[in-house]
Structures are given as structure tokens and as C-alpha cells.
Structure 1
Amino acid sequence: MPDENKVTIKVNDNGSLRVTGQVDLVDAEGNLFEHKDSFSLCRCGASGNKPFCDGTHKSVGFESAPRANQA
């Protein structure tokens, strides 16, 4: 059974950071961004809706597919 209090951040290949779970997303001044319990954050820097992903990474050719080190 998944822990409902746990936040998961998935690094999508060549795309966004997918955030799932209850988390506060705040700007540099501490103001809250409105969002759902699951949302995507921009990694490519080209989104027109920062800090959220709008899919622009596909048209700008963003490539990044890091993997966690496995011990």
C-alpha cells in the first residue's frame, strides 16, 4: 500500500520533473503556487508557464535522461 504522505518526484527522460503527493510549491518570496496533487515542473527552461512544464521540451530538443546510481 503506497504511503499517502510520501511525495515522489520522477525525473522523466528528456522531459519534466513529475511531482506526485501533497507538497507546497513556493516562489522566492514564499508565495504558494496553486497546483494539483500531481504536476510537472519544467527542466528545460523553455516553458512559457514556468515553473510548470508546458511540453515545450519536445520542440526545443531537450535531452536528459539521468539514472540514479545503483549500489
Structure 2
Amino acid sequence: MPTGPEERPPAPPCRVTVTKEGPLLLDGPVEVALDDGTVVRSDRFAVALCTCRRSRTYPWCDTSHRRRTKR
């Protein structure tokens, strides 16, 4: 007999960690729905989502938010 959604145990909450000047850190795996309707997925155990939109791998963080220091 098929199991309906009302019979499934509740999913554990997804933990999101807000960092002061960096990405959002999420416990993975995650699926991210973008504003153009595409869905991207990461199966990693921890995922960093870009919040500055400077990342070349958006929505994933590539640390572009870090300030560059001159030598």
C-alpha cells in the first residue's frame, strides 16, 4: 500500500549559518531554485551560498567577497 505524505516522518530542519561578511553556510545536500526557474543541486555535506553576487560560480560562493590586499 503506498505511503502518503501524511504518513512520512517530518524532515529534519535545514541548518543555515549566517556569516558576518561572507556566504550563507548550509548543511547539505541542497537544491537551490534560482530566479530564472532553474534548480541547481549540491550533494556536498556543507554548502556556501554567495550573498554578494560577485561569485563566478553563483549561486555557489567562490570567496570573491574577500577583500584583496595589496603587497
Q: Map 1:1-71 onto structure 2 (within 5 A).
A: 5-36=12-43, 37-59=45-67
Q: Tell me which amino acid in the other structure corresponds to 2:55.
A: S
- C-alpha distance 31-45 of structure 1, shift in aligned 2 (>3 A): closer
Instruction: State the distance in 1 between where 2:15 and 2:49 align.
Output: 13
Give unmatched runs, 5+ long, in structure 1. Answer: 61-71
Bigger proportion of residues as strand = 2
Structure 1, 18-27 or 38-47: larger mean CA deviation: 18-27
Q: Tell me which amino acid in the other structure corresponds to 1:11.
A: V
Q: Tell me which amino acid in the other structure corresponds to 2:60.
A: F
Q: Which has the larger radius of gyration?
A: 2
Report 1 or 2 for greater relative contact order, CA contacts < 8 Å, sequence distance ≥ 6: 1
Give unmatched runs, 5+ long, in structure 2. Answer: 1-10
Secondary structure in 1 matching 2:55: coil
TM-score normalised by the chain length of structure 2: 0.63
Q: Runs of 4 or more off by more than 3 Å in structure 1?
A: none
- C-alpha distance 29-43 of structure 1, shift in aligned 2 (>3 A): closer
How big is the alpha-carbon RMSD for the aligned residues of Structure 1 and Structure 2?
A: 2.4
**Identical columns (%):** 25
Matched pairs, number: 58
